[in-house]
Amino acid sequence: MSKYWSDFVHQLEPYVPGEQPKMSKLVKLNTNEHPLGPSPKVLEVIRGEADERLRLYPDPDSSQLKEAIASYYGVQRDQVFVGNGSDEVLAHLFLGFFKQDKPLLFPDITYSFYKVYCGLYQIDYEAVPLDGELAIAVDDYLKPNGGIIFPNPNAPTGRLLPLSEIERLLQANTESLVVVDEAYIDFGGESAISLINRYPNLLVTQTLSKSRSLAGLRIGLAVGDAALIDGLNRIKDSFNSYPLDRIAIAAGAAAFEDREWFDKGCELVISQRDWLDGELDKRGFESLPSAANFLFTRHPQHSGESLAKGLREQGVIVRHFGKPERIADYLRITVGTPEQNQALIETLDTLL
């Protein structure tokens, strides 16, 4: 604390990211990173970019990356926005679209950064409770609002909302913006990007941190009506006109071009998720159906806290949120490599 802080800094409640431990040899299943490394083609592009051109500012429009994304999804380049991680894209869109008279709606159990941005930008919000199965019920969002945002699949539950339900929401909610945060969509869902030409009230965000295994590079994107993208560009150019560096622009484009590596990585995660789900089930765990690269699970005889602590003592790190009460006994376990998943199960066997 310092007397030089602006008043509002005292009021902020910052996001607490999952731990990035310095020790090696840990089985790290706590922040939903991809078990497979990035595409070798991406790494080759990164090496090729590391030369004297780093003296120059990058393309402020990140055209090469937008081109690759537009072509991957069959949309126009002016329907694409990119940022330094999807967290930055989210920060811009909260400021640009959600500062309204009516409250922003999002699930009570969801990505905890949403609440943090509301604090940062003084946005009024209402947390809408998930239903009894910890699922998003679209009907609960059909009321006056200044915007709606949720991840699909939701985090940390992993539950997927079908595209038909998202479309129903878009049809009923035309007076405010609906943002679908698709950080995990590639692990089992169908992207709502296919709906953007029909719904100007829809914005979809994605990240290269999860399914494209590039969390260390920080690349995120939004796809929607060109007028929405225009609004985001106005914010970006009032904040930092060069958010993506030269290396990230080229590497991000290469990641979208290497479909083969991407498909292989997603298939590995999905098959390992199924395996892990089965093994947990055999041991009495109750897991929510997941379309993401993690499982949200609990054991009827063991508290979430004791399991997380027991795993940690043996070098296996998973995420335990503790709050709210309703999810206090759940663990969020990232799907790792076959070896990591095996180690997790063996360690659990010593604890149960």
Residues at the interface with ligand PLP (CB under 6 A) = 85-87, 111, 151, 155, 181, 183, 207, 209, 215, 220
Angle at CA 216, nearest 5°, toward 54 and 258? Answer: 85
Tokens (6 digits) for 215: 């969390």
For residue 182, CA distances in Å to 64, 98, 110, 157, 196 come to 22, 18, 13, 14, 14
Residues forming beta bridges with residue 95, ordered by sequence position:
none
What CA–CA distance (Å, rounded) separates 166 from 155?
A: 17
Q: How far is the CB of 207 from ligand PLP (least distance, A)?
A: 3
Pairing mode, strands 178-181 and 202-207:
parallel
Q: How far is the CB of 220 from ligand PLP (least distance, A)?
A: 4
Beta carbon nearer to ligand PLP, 196 or 222: 222
Q: How far is the CB of 208 from ligand PLP (least distance, A)?
A: 7
Q: How far is the CB of 215 from ligand PLP (least distance, A)?
A: 6
Query: How many Cβ atoms sit within 10 Å of the Cβ of residue 350?
Result: 9
Q: Which residues are CB-neighbours of 281 under 8 A, at least 6 positions away?
A: 287
Beta carbon nearer to ligand PLP, 145 or 209: 209
Beta carbon nearer to ligand PLP, 292 or 316: 292
Beta carbon nearer to ligand PLP, 219 or 348: 219
Tokens (6 digits) for 132: 């009894």
Q: How far is the CB of 276 from ligand PLP (least distance, A)?
A: 19
Beta carbon nearer to ligand PLP, 112 or 194: 112
